[in-house]
Amino acid sequence: MGMGALIVVLSCFISIVPYMIYGPGLHILSNTAHALGARKRSPDSLLCNSAMSGHRECTGPSMADSYTPFALFFAANFLNGFGASTFFIAGSSYMDDNIRKKNSPLYFGMGLAFRLLGPVVGFLTAGICLRFYEDPFHNPGISPKDPRWVGAWWMGYILFAVGLTVVSLPMMMFPRILPAGKNYKVNRMQRLSVVKANKAAKCAEGSGQHGISIAMIKDIIVIVKRLLRNPIFMFHTIGLVFVFLATAGFGTSFSKYVEFQFRQSASKANYYTGAAKVVTNIVGILVGGVVIHRFRPGPRVVAGYSAFVEVAMMAGFVAMMFIGCESPTIAGVTPGSNVSATSLLEKCNVDCNCNTQIYEPVCSSNKMMSYFSPCHAGCRSAGTSPMNVTIYKDCSCIAEGDHGVDDSYVTSGLCGDTCQKLGLFLGIVIAGQFLGSTGRVGGLLIFLRCVDPIDKSMAMGTTGSILHMLAFIPYPLIYGAILDHSCMIWEEKCGRRGNCWVYDPDKLRYTLHLVTIIFLAIAGVCYTGQFLLSGRIKRFYEDDLAEDSSSSDGQDQYESKATINEAFSVESIHKADEKPEATRF
């Protein structure tokens, strides 16, 4: 696990390399009033007939250059997943092997609480880092609420790389078996010694001239087949796939959703994301672990509660689907339809050479209509109010479009840029997070108890592989497509589509929550199947060799059990295949 942490550290440093090579994204600011030489915003550059508002020279990075950072980020994420998988595969098994089963709920609760604390700390750290501009020593002249704002995304990698380096060194000094657990493990080690001896003999017999143990490979394949034929294991794993699709997908989209749906800055959206998870997840997991440790419910009760949690979370997402803010009224923009640069043009601004490379929303003097930019409002002059607020004047679209308005001016920002529903939305999110986290410990216990103890590491690895292929890879694509589908106005630069400037709040709200509800519904069906079969799980809290240690001929039973339960024995796997019930513990 210590080496896995160092691999994650390496991935953090690789993630910083694109910033070190290419520097901050000044080309984003150069599309506005920020020239590379004098990067201060000039209101005159946003006006009708301004030379800066016409078609600009395409000087951005070429497609060939864009492949390099893509490859670097791909390598960084690959190493991050490879290193982090050691915690998922080896960490839980290592903990379970060094504690008594009756104490495992409490330890698993604490372990999961600290594990889920990581994303929370990540969101809070991101909120702090994004308050600084990508180049902290440069003033871009725009606020963090501006869609063109690019925060210091690379700072977090440095902070976490240093922290992981510090904890990885003592982690590598831990022994295979903790000293406190040696007396408890002596019986199991006697049993496993027979397994290791048989395994070594088979490896020696099966090794070919290429130094590869054919027998071991065949036995591993048979073990995986045995796991795939375990109905409880498969129901739990498939349920996990759809739970991760729902929670991870919605979680990664949550900050952007809060930002555009409730009109918050990117840094505040990350703060809300972290705050909604920090207390609820930790408290919920600890409560779940303590309750299981104290009352010791049976596997049917634990599995039934897991199914109930998914149904309750579905109800929460249904309620959240109807909580949102009204779509901003932008001239030329019809909610529910795609908007092009020509859709924003009217008679009053057709000669202004406006485009969608600049997004500077402004509000009319009567607070009834918003415009994509001062250019689209037909404004030809700019000034400053006594409150040091930029005012764009002589706006032809205001005079023509808003009846009864004499002052043809606009101010920066969208009209009605306030919404009071964020508190209710976050309240439901917090309640759902708490309820969902209370079932994490029980779910992990079901997973570890439905397979043979000698197969736990293989089960962890198999589940991890399935999750990465069917959940971790697809969910960014699925939820990224949802965000793209909900975009109303795209940046158009050099004939290519750029960032999304304006989302349709209603379409984003309904689509995002509906897809998440579907994933949770499928997970609920899987956990219901797990509940119906959970009665097969025995010895949910008893230690594996409790009855063996009290037997007079214990050593003979250890060797017999080792022969029967040997992980790499084809005969034992054949026996398991003949018996459809879950393995007894």
Query: What is the per-residue pLDDT across 282-292, written as a single tens digit (0 to 9) for each?
Result: 888 889 989 99
Kindly compute the dihedral angle of the four CA atoms of residues 64, 65, 70, 76, in this order, to the nearest 10 degrees.
130
pLDDT of residue 233: 96
pLDDT band for 559, please (50, 70, 90 cuts): very low
pLDDT of residue 242: 97
CB 541 within 8 A of CB 297: no
CB 232 within 8 A of CB 534: yes
pLDDT band for 401, please (50, 70, 90 cuts): very low
CB 156 within 8 A of CB 126: yes
> In this structure, is residue 248 part of a structural domain?
no
Give mean pLDDT, residues 519-527: 97
Please report, as a single letter, which amino acid is at residue 61. P
CA-angle at 188, arms to 184 and 194, nearest 5°: 155
pLDDT band for 563, please (50, 70, 90 cuts): very low
User: What whole-number percentage of the chain has pLDDT above 90?
Assistant: 23
> In this structure, is residue 532 part of a structural domain?
no
Worst-scoring range by mean pLDDT, 71-75, 180-184, 346-350? 180-184
Query: What is d(CA 416, CA 299) in angstroms, rounded to the nearest whole number?
Result: 53
pLDDT of residue 558: 36
Give mean pLDDT, residues 558-579: 38
Closest CA relative to residue 436, chosen from 523, 370, 325: 523
pLDDT of residue 91: 72
pLDDT of residue 585: 31
Pick the more confident residue, 95 or 447.
Answer: 447
pLDDT of residue 37: 38
Question: For residue 577, is pLDDT > 70?
Answer: no
415 phi and psi angles, rounded to 5 deg? -70, 145
Put residue 395 in one of left, alpha, beta given phi > 0 → left and psi -120 to 50 → alpha.
Answer: beta
Pick the more confident residue, 167 or 585.
Answer: 167
pLDDT of residue 579: 41
Pick the more confident residue, 362 or 140.
Answer: 362
pLDDT of residue 524: 96
Which helix (H) or strand (E) segment holds residue 299: the answer is helix 299-320
pLDDT of residue 337: 55
pLDDT band for 231, please (50, 70, 90 cuts): very high
207 phi and psi angles, rounded to 5 deg? -70, 130
Question: For residue 373, is pLDDT > 80?
Answer: yes
Query: What is the per-residue pLDDT across 458-494, written as a single tens digit (0 to 9) for each?
Result: 888 889 889 988 998 899 999 999 999 998 888 877 7
Query: What is d(CA 434, CA 232) in angstroms, rounded to the nearest whole number?
Result: 25
- Note the Cα 433 to chain centre separation in Å: 14
pLDDT of residue 251: 87
Burial class (CB in 10 A: 0-12, 13-18, 19+), 139: exposed
Pick the more confident residue, 407 or 510.
Answer: 510
- C-alpha pair distances (Å), 134 with each of 24, 263, 297, 446, 541: 6, 22, 51, 45, 52
Query: What is the per-residue pLDDT across 104-140, written as a single tens digit (0 to 9) for each?
Result: 777 877 877 777 677 778 877 887 888 888 888 877 7
> In this structure, is residue 359 part of a structural domain?
yes
> In this structure, is residue 373 part of a structural domain?
yes
Q: In which residue are the tokens 């029980």 written?
A: 442
3-state SS assignment for residue 128:
helix
Query: What is d(CA 496, CA 356) in angstroms, rounded to the nearest whole number?
Result: 12
Give mean pLDDT, residues 94-99: 74
Question: For residue 212, is pLDDT > 60?
Answer: no
Q: Based on the structure, what is the number of domains in the chain?
A: 1
Which residues form the domain of 351?
342-412
Q: What is the largest CA-CA distance in the chain?
A: 101
pLDDT of residue 342: 54
pLDDT of residue 204: 54
pTM as predicted: 0.72
> In this structure, is residue 401 part of a structural domain?
yes
Please report, as a single letter, which amino acid is at residue 370. S
Query: What is d(CA 440, CA 410) in angstroms, rounded to the nearest whole number?
Result: 52
Give mean pLDDT, residues 539-551: 54
Angle between helices 266-295 and 104-129 (to 10 degrees): 170
CB 9 within 8 A of CB 168: yes
> In this structure, is residue 346 part of a structural domain?
yes
Rounded to a whole number of angstroms, the distance between the first and last alpha carbons of the chain is 27
pLDDT of residue 397: 85
Closest CA relative to residue 453, chosen from 538, 565, 564: 565
Pick the more confident residue, 425 or 573.
Answer: 425
Burial class (CB in 10 A: 0-12, 13-18, 19+), 117: middle
Sheet holding 390-393, edge to edge: 370-371, 362-364, 410-412, 390-393, 381-384
Worst-scoring range by mean pLDDT, 280-289, 301-310, 341-350? 341-350
CB 214 within 8 A of CB 579: no
Pick the more confident residue, 416 or 319.
Answer: 319
pLDDT of residue 129: 87
Closest CA relative to residue 41, chosen from 365, 373, 340: 373
Please report, as a single letter, which amino acid is at residue 447. F
> In this structure, is residue 92 part of a structural domain?
no
> In this structure, is residue 472 part of a structural domain?
no
